Amino acid sequence: MKRALPSALSALPAALPAWAITAAALTVLVIVNGLLQPGFFDGTVLQSNLTTFLPLVLVAIGQTYVVLAGDIDLSVGAVAALVNVVTVTVIAATGDGPDAILAGLAAGLAVALACGLVNGLLIGVVGLQPMVATFGTAILFSALALRILPQAGLPVPDAYWQTYGGAVLGLPTVLLILLLAIGFVALLARRPFQTWLKAVGGNRGGAFQSGLDLRRIRLSAYLISALFAGFAALCLTGETASGDPLLGQSLGLGSVSAVALGGTLLSGGVGGAAGSILGALLLGMIGNVIFFAGLPFEYQTLVQGLIVLAALAGGVLVARRR
């Protein structure tokens, strides 16, 4: 049995948590990368790496809450694509001043929440099977994205990507976003809501008998997941500076891998979003190391698959030692 993060820290470390191997692998990769890439620890290089990793980190955080409740959200990639094209289209339609950008961001996030609402209603209220249902809604969201912007293009104003690539309040924007996300994770972990999510994922019948409103809890998880997919889309928009209806296709399964690497049980009930951040960073670092090790790009998928399975297998074996 794995322990919840806070109680494991307050109690004696009797057993290594399931994400220990992920943390160890991440440390190794950071060291290897530091050796391979001169100036890896420079501020600008770290910032550019974080820029690359941030979207998956955000999506993985949102995915965690859905998975904790015993569900899954495979539509996050399509949500990100839809948010991206809505944002760039709204900005283009309302001029290119700061107001237009804010309108675009707001429209994008509103669309994200609408997507989450659709998922949450179909799964939490109508009762569709989560994996197949979110695959179905992903098809719908992608279709809408293609309707709104048939081809990649429609650049955003300079102010958008300059702010994203620059700094706010003296901190690099990407770092600020990461810190805000971590803050959200830490606050939510102390709310009853996260316990309820685990209850719904740990024993759905028991949670119902305990008087929890399963529909509202599962719906809320899908809203959070979609919202974070929306944040990720806004970050991707800042990185690519344009719209792309096919963007983010690897985010769905990638975020599930990150969540699993972070020690959250895919069957629900056990885990937390802090581990998922580590998992997402690990996945990102693998690509980095392959690049700087001079291996052809084609190796990336192969090595990523191997490392994910090795880290997860290691995590399972470590947790079982107890």
Partner 1 sequence: MTGTPETPALPMPAPTPLGPAIEARDIVKRFGAVQALGNGRLTVGRGEIHALLGANGCGKSTLSKIIAGTHAATAGSLLIEGRPVRFATPREAEAAGIALFYQELSLIPPLSVAANIFLGREPRTRAGFIDRTRLRAETEALIALFGDTAGPGLTPDALVADLTPGQRQIVEILKVLSKSPRIVIMDEATAALDARQVAVFFDILRARRAAGVSTVFISHRLDEVFALCDRVTVMRNGETVADLCIADTDQDSVVRLMIGDVRKAGRRTRADRPAAAPLLQADRVGGGRLRDITLAVAPGEILGLGGLQGQGQSALLRGLFGADPLTAGRLRLDGQPVRIRAPADAVARGIAYVSGDRVADAVLAGRSIFENLAAAVLVRERRWRVGAGTLAPRLAGVAASLKTKYAGLDDAIGTLSGGNQQKVFIARWLATGPRLLLLDDPTKGIDLGAKADLFALIRQLADSGVAIILYSSEEAELLDQSDRILVFNGGAVVTELSGPTLDSFHLTRAAYGDAA
Partner 2 sequence: MTAPSLSPSGLSTGSRLATLAASPLALALMAIIVLLGLGEMLSPGFARGDQIIRLLTVAALLGIAAAGQNLVILAGGEGIDLSIGAQISFGAIIAGNVMNGSDAAIAHAILAACGATFLVGLVNGLGVTLVRLPPLVMTLGMMAIIQGGLVVFSQGIPSGNAAPALMGFINQPALLGLPGILLAWAVLIVLMGLLLRRTALGFAIYAVGANARAARLVGLPVRAVRTLVYGLSGALAGLTGVFVIGYTGNSFISVGDQYMLPTIIAVVIGGTSLAGGTGGYVGTVAGAIALVLLQSVLTTLHLDFWGRQLIFGGTLLLLLALYGRQTGPRV
Chain positions contacting partner 2, by CB under 8 A: 72, 122, 126-129, 131-133, 135-140, 142-144, 146-147, 150, 204-205, 207-209, 214, 253, 256-257, 260, 265-267, 296, 298-306, 308-309, 312-313, 316-317, 320
Residue 151 — φ and ψ, nearest 5°? Answer: -130, 155
CB of 265 to partner 1, least distance (A): 8
CA distance 272 to 260: 10
Among 203, 240, 242, 300, binds partner 1 (CB under 8 A): 203
Binding flag, residue 11, partner 1 (CB under 8 A): yes
Binding flag, residue 300, partner 1 (CB under 8 A): no
CA distance 224 to 237: 20
CB of 4 to partner 1, least distance (A): 8
From 75-83, 198-206, 220-228, 251-259, span contacting partner 1 (CB under 8 A): 198-206
The CA distances from residue 228 to 59, 94, 240, 310, in Å, are 5, 25, 18, 28
Give 188 or 293: the residue with its C-beta nearer to partner 1: 188
Residue 266 — φ and ψ, nearest 5°? Answer: -70, -20
Give 174 or 312: the residue with its C-beta nearer to partner 2: 312
The CA distances from residue 150 to 24, 141, 142, 144, 244, in Å, are 43, 13, 11, 10, 8
CB of 24 to partner 1, least distance (A): 24
Give 137 or 288: the residue with its C-beta nearer to partner 2: 137
Are the C-beta atoms of residues 172 and 48 closer than 8 Å to each other? no
Please list the residues that pair with 178 across neighbouring strands.
none
Among 3, 29, 221, 231, binds partner 1 (CB under 8 A): 3
Among 122, 212, 227, 280, binds partner 1 (CB under 8 A): 212
Which two tokens mark 299? 């190796």
Dmax (CA) of the chain = 61
Kind plus residue range of the DSSP H or E element containing 172? strand 171-172
Among 13, 191, 306, 316, binds partner 1 (CB under 8 A): 191
Give 196 or 231: the residue with its C-beta nearer to partner 2: 196
Give 11 or 316: the residue with its C-beta nearer to partner 1: 11
CB of 260 to partner 1, least distance (A): 16
Among 44, 169, 192, 298, binds partner 1 (CB under 8 A): 192
Are the C-beta atoms of residues 260 and 266 closer than 8 Å to each other? yes
CB of 184 to partner 2, least distance (A): 25
Among 207, 219, 259, 290, binds partner 1 (CB under 8 A): 207
Binding flag, residue 209, partner 1 (CB under 8 A): yes
Number of CB atoms found within 10 A of residue 181's CB: 19
CB of 272 to partner 1, least distance (A): 12
Give 213 or 239: the residue with its C-beta nearer to partner 1: 213
Binding flag, residue 190, partner 1 (CB under 8 A): yes
Closest to 287 (Cα-Cα) out of 20, 13, 56, 9: 56
Give 11 or 309: the residue with its C-beta nearer to partner 1: 11
Which two tokens mark 303? 């090595």
Which two tokens mark 312? 């997860």
Are the C-beta atoms of residues 245 and 152 closer than 8 Å to each other? yes
